């Protein structure tokens, strides 16, 4: 059986294709860089992460964009020669007046060589590419303010939209019609949509027509997929889907889901990707193979496909060996270089699973200035939407332990470095080393002790959780966060020798959830440094360890 979710922790809005014996899933990345996460599978059960396609600022510039803006709901497709990726860059999402710009890139190799973007339109978000059986291409997107589904032909030679744009379907009336995909199967054009909003009323609906342009009749069995909200132990928030046919003729649906802890509606893991086996009934409508329409924790494996575990997944223990750590594995975000999973202290690039905010980390990190360490040069504070020095990993399970070791010599209170546990610019915890002196009044000999602070930001209300602690200046500082079994709380620790840890506080993770933050991403742990004096004082991180407890 395949266990859900197949892509845990902040992997929303999945789009899936099959090319021969290979399956690829693309997920939204929002304000996290690089843009769009792509995963590869041979068996729909095990996955490896590939280089992201949007890895140049010329393809995607999110500097200054607000929380949960950026890349929404990408769609990946293949026409037999090119891979196509269409995506929305959301500039603003306030007051219903969303600024949503849709772009298209292509590549002959899914692992690299992606083109510069072609601008399409700004009429809505969640675009997809439909390749009809006659070879024509069409762009499909929802219309802003959820007014229906727009279809327009795309000319790949002229690289522009052509012909009339038409609203082919207004939605089923369940609200928030978005995430459209069109498939030409047999005599019908099938329109798959997300409706009900991306929260606990989320669902997948369907309609069909014998013409691309409609009229579309609604599936009488809608919703095709949703969640059993009366049973909180079941998979929740199921919606926003795409379908794929295996090489042996079986059908599967990948979809967004959420895993709130028992008795809670706090998705600290954000929106994730699950999969369900599907069948077509006698009337030609898509149904869950297990019956019903509730997302399930497990589904049948495809027939005739051998299990394929990738080396990275098989060895993924997130541990350290004498401080040889993940951040020193190479995984260059380059069009022509694939990820090397071997450890390499001379590497100039972070592991492919690390991410940064709104722009590449290159301008503020170094793995060569001090070999064996990640150096972060401080910039703006974490509540900025512009230049933040953070290298992070998404939280993938509720019960985790995260640890790092930092060496940092701050001269004033405007300089901080340490471990961040964060959701967005307004909601985070910081366990950091800093100093009490005001900038301009500090002494050169730094006779006063450095300070350890545990800072909480709840909707931009920034407070110290505990009284600051004096710590030695030169000693490396070990920092640790351990979440409780259900993920509802996090314990914060520090150590001066890496052996004896002292607990500072146990704090709720509610501020790091979709529900509390009104966002679409998920919690992240990261190495962090800021220097609000503009002097870019740096911090050196010896290792970064994430363990699933």
Active site positions, annotated: 13, 178
Q: Which two tokens stand for residue 544?
A: 């970064």
Phi, then psi, of 313 in degrees rounded to 5:
-70, -40
Of 347, 311, 314, which is closest to residue 331 (Cα–Cα)? 347
H/E stretch holding 514 reads helix 514-517
149-155/160-169 β-pairing:
antiparallel
Please check whether residue 464 is in contact with residue 454, taking contact to mean a CB–CB distance below 8 angstroms: yes
Cα(485)–Cα(497) distance, integer angstroms: 27
What Rg do the C-alpha atoms of the chain give, in angstroms?
Answer: 24
Tell me how long the chain is.
Answer: 549
Cα(38)–Cα(5) distance, integer angstroms: 16
> Contacts by 69-72 with C-beta closer than 8 Å and gap 24+?
69/30, 69/31, 69/93, 70/29, 70/30, 70/31, 70/32, 70/35, 70/358, 71/28, 71/29, 71/30, 71/35, 71/36, 72/13, 72/28, 72/30, 72/100, 72/125, 72/126
Please check whether residue 477 is in contact with residue 471, taking contact to mean a CB–CB distance below 8 angstroms: yes
Neighbours of 505 (CB within 10 A): 15
DSSP per residue, 120-141? EE-S-S--EEEE-TTS-EEEEE
Please check whether residue 323 is in contact with residue 283, taking contact to mean a CB–CB distance below 8 angstroms: no
Please check whether residue 266 is in contact with residue 513, taking contact to mean a CB–CB distance below 8 angstroms: yes
Neighbours of 116 (CB within 10 A): 10
Q: Who contacts 448 (Cβ-Cβ below 8 Å, separation ≥6)?
A: 435, 436, 437
For residue 258, what are the β-bridge partners?
Answer: 236
């Amino acid at each position: 059986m395949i266990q859900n979710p197949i892509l845990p922790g902040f992997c929303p809005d999945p789009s899936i294709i099959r090319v021969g014996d290979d399956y690829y899933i693309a997920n939204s990345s929002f304000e996290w860089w690089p843009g769009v996460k792509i995963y590869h599978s041979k068996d729909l059960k095990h996955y490896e992460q590939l280089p992201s396609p949007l890895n140049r600022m010329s393809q995607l510039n999110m500097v200054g964009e607000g929380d949960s803006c950026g890349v929404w709901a990408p769609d990946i497709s293949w026409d037999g020669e090119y891979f196509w990726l269409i995506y929305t860059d959301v500039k603003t999402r306030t007051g219903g007046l969303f600024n949503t710009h849709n772009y298209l890139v292509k590549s002959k190799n899914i692992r690299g060589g992606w083109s510069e973007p072609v601008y399409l339109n700004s009429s809505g978000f969640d675009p997809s590419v439909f390749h009809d059986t006659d070879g024509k291409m069409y762009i499909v997107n929802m219309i802003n303010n959820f007014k229906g589904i727009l279809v327009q032909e795309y000319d790949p030679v002229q690289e522009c939209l052509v012909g009339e744009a038409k609203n082919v379907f207004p939605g089923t009336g369940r609200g928030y019609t978005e995430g459209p995909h069109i498939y030409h199967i047999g005599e019908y054009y099938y329109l798959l949509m997300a409706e009900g909003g991306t929260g606990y009323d989320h669902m997948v609906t369907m309609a069909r027509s014998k013409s691309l342009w409609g009229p579309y009749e609604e599936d009488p069995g809608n919703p095709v997929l949703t969640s059993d909200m009366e049973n909180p132990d079941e998979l929740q928030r199921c919606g926003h889907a795409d379908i794929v046919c295996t090489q042996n003729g079986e059908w599967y649906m990948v979809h967004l889901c959420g895993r709130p802890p028992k008795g809670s509606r706090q998705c600290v893991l954000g929106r994730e990707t699950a999969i369900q086996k599907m069948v077509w009934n006698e009337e030609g409508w898509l149904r869950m193979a297990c019956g019903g329409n509730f997302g399930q924790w497990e589904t049948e494996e495809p027939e005739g496909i051998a299990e394929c575990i990738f080396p990275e997944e098989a060895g993924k223990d997130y541990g350290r060996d004498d401080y040889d750590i993940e951040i020193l594995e190479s995984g260059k975000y380059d069009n022509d270089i694939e990820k090397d999973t071997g450890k390499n202290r001379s590497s100039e690039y972070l592991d492919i699973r690390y991410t940064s905010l709104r722009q590449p980390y290159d301008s503020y990190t170094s793995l060569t200035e001090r070999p064996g360490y990640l150096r972060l040069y401080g910039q703006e504070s974490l509540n900025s939407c512009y230049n933040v020095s953070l290298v992070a990993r998404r939280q993938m399970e509720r019960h985790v332990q995260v640890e790092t070791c930092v060496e940092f010599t701050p001269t004033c209170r405007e300089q901080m470095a340490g471990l961040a546990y964060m959701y967005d610019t307004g909601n985070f915890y910081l366990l950091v080393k800093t100093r009490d002196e005001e900038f301009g009044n500090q002494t050169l000999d730094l006779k006063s002790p450095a300070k350890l602070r545990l800072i909480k930001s709840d909707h931009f209300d920034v407070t110290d959780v505990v009284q600051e602690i004096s710590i030695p200046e030169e000693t490396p500082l070990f920092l640790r966060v351990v979440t409780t079994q259900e993920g509802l709380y996090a314990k914060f620790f520090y150590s001066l020798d890496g052996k004896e840890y002292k607990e500072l506080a146990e704090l709720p993770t509610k501020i790091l959830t979709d529900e509390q933050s009104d966002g679409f991403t998920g919690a992240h742990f990261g190495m962090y440094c800021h220097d609000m004096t503009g002097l870019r004082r740096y911090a050196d991180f010896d290792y970064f360890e994430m363990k699933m407890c």
